[in-house]
């Protein structure tokens, strides 16, 4: 349901503050000017779809929900499963993996699923019922192995071996280990 610019601004400010970010932190992390943030959070400017996409990733919230609140209904992704099936039919040699937001490199964060992209993988990787998902790296503390903006394709499994690079959920929270 579309809400007013003022209501959207209050909503976004509440989320930002609950995560402990200042307007200047948001500027550093996703290059949104402090003046734009102030105008938006005070309901004096309607955020663009690009800004909403950046904020949804940073705030770990559903981008489609923000698009709906801002009145960008034409941008809401419908029928994701149908789109994936369509992509999978394009080539028998590949399959599509959903990319569920970002993984902070070195900083523990709350885990929130928000499909932000898809990536193709070889179809034979899915043999034996294996499941994969993707996450985008945000930050530079894992250089040179994982760079800011890299997409990691991860095997979903219940355990990992000592010495392996893993992303684990502890009591529902995503952590780098």
Q: pLDDT per residue over 26-41, tens digit each?
A: 988 888 889 999 999 9
Query: Crossing angle for the helix pair 23-30 and 49-59, nearest 10 degrees?
Result: 100
Contact 88, 140 (CB under 8 A): no
Contact 125, 118 (CB under 8 A): no
Global pTM reads 0.46
* Superfamily of segment(s) 5-75: lambda repressor-like DNA-binding domains (1.10.260.40)
Residue ranges of domains in the chain: 5-75, 80-176
Cα distance between residue 72 and residue 177, in whole Å: 38
Candidate CATH numbers 1.10.520, 2.40.160, 1.10.3470, 2.10.109; the one for domain 80-176: 2.10.109
What's the whole-number average pLDDT of the chain?
77
- Where does the pLDDT of residue 42 fall: very low under 50, low under 70, confident under 90, or very high at 90 and above? very high
Q: Which of 4-13, 70-79, 90-99 has the lowest mean pLDDT?
A: 90-99
Residues 6+ apart with CB under 8 A from 154: 132, 133, 134, 135, 167
Query: Helix, strand, or coil here: 103?
Result: strand
Cα distance between residue 45 and residue 1, in whole Å: 18
Q: Which of 17-21, 63-67, 154-158 has the lowest mean pLDDT?
A: 154-158
The predicted-structure confidence for 132-168, as pLDDT tens digits, reads as follows 778 888 777 666 677 878 888 888 888 888 888 777 7
């Amino acid at each position: 349901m579309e809400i007013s610019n003022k209501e959207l601004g209050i909503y976004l400010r509440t989320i930002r503050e609950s995560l402990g970010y200042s307007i200047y932190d948001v500027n550093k992390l996703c290059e949104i000017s402090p003046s734009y943030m102030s105008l938006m959070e005070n309901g004096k400017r309607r955020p663009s779809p690009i800004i909403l996409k950046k904020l949804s990733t940073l705030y770990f919230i559903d981008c489609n929900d923000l698009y709906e609140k801002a009145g960008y209904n034409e941008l809401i992704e419908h029928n994701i499963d149908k789109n994936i099936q369509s992509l999978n039919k394009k080539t028998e040699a590949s399959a599509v993996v959903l990319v569920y937001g970002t993984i902070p490199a070195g900083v523990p964060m709350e885990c929130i699923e928000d499909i932000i992209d898809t990536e193709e993988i070889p179809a034979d990787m899915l043999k034996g019922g294996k499941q994969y998902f993707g996450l985008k790296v945000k930050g530079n503390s894992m250089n040179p192995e994982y760079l800011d903006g890299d997409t990691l394709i991860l095997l979903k499994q219940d355990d990992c071996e000592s010495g392996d690079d893993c992303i684990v959920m502890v009591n529902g929270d995503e952590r780098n280990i």
